[in-house]
Amino acid sequence: MTQTVQESPVDLPGALLPNAEPNPGCTVCGFLAMRARQYRGRDDSAATDCAVEIRNHPHFPVKLRAETLPVVTW
């Protein structure tokens, strides 16, 4: 009879938290980048969600510009 042993899990530090570069001047990307920084270390799943949204966010044509919207602070 063959005995099977489960291997230890692989630790991939930071692999689930990819950094995403926001498109300069894009209000949506800027907001998501701000949220990702706020979530990092507290809610890594939400930070990753923000990074994914930045990567998938369409930029052509840019419909909103940061200079046209009011500043929101937290």
Q: pLDDT tens digits, residue range 13-68?
A: 655 545 778 888 888 899 999 999 899 888 888 888 888 888 888 877 655 555 55
Residue 45 within a domain: yes
Name, in order, each residue with C-beta under 8 angstroms of 46's C-beta and a sequence gap of 6 or more: 35, 39
34 is in which domain, residue-wise? 27-68
Does a structural domain hold residue 13?
no
- Evaluate if residue 69 carries a pLDDT over 80: no
In-domain check, residue 47? yes
Q: Quote the pTM value.
A: 0.56
Please give the pLDDT value at position 52. 85
Asked if residue 39 belongs to a domain, the reply is yes
In a domain, residue 9? The reply is no
Q: Is 41 exposed, middle or buried (0-12, 13-18, 19+ CB in 10 A)?
A: exposed
Q: In angstroms, rounded to a whole number, what is the distance separating the alpha carbons of residues 32 and 10?
A: 30
Tokens of 41: 């270390």
Q: Residue 34 domain-assigned?
A: yes
Rounded mean pLDDT of 2-12?
79
**11 versus 50: which is more confidently predicted?**
50
Domain count for the chain: 1
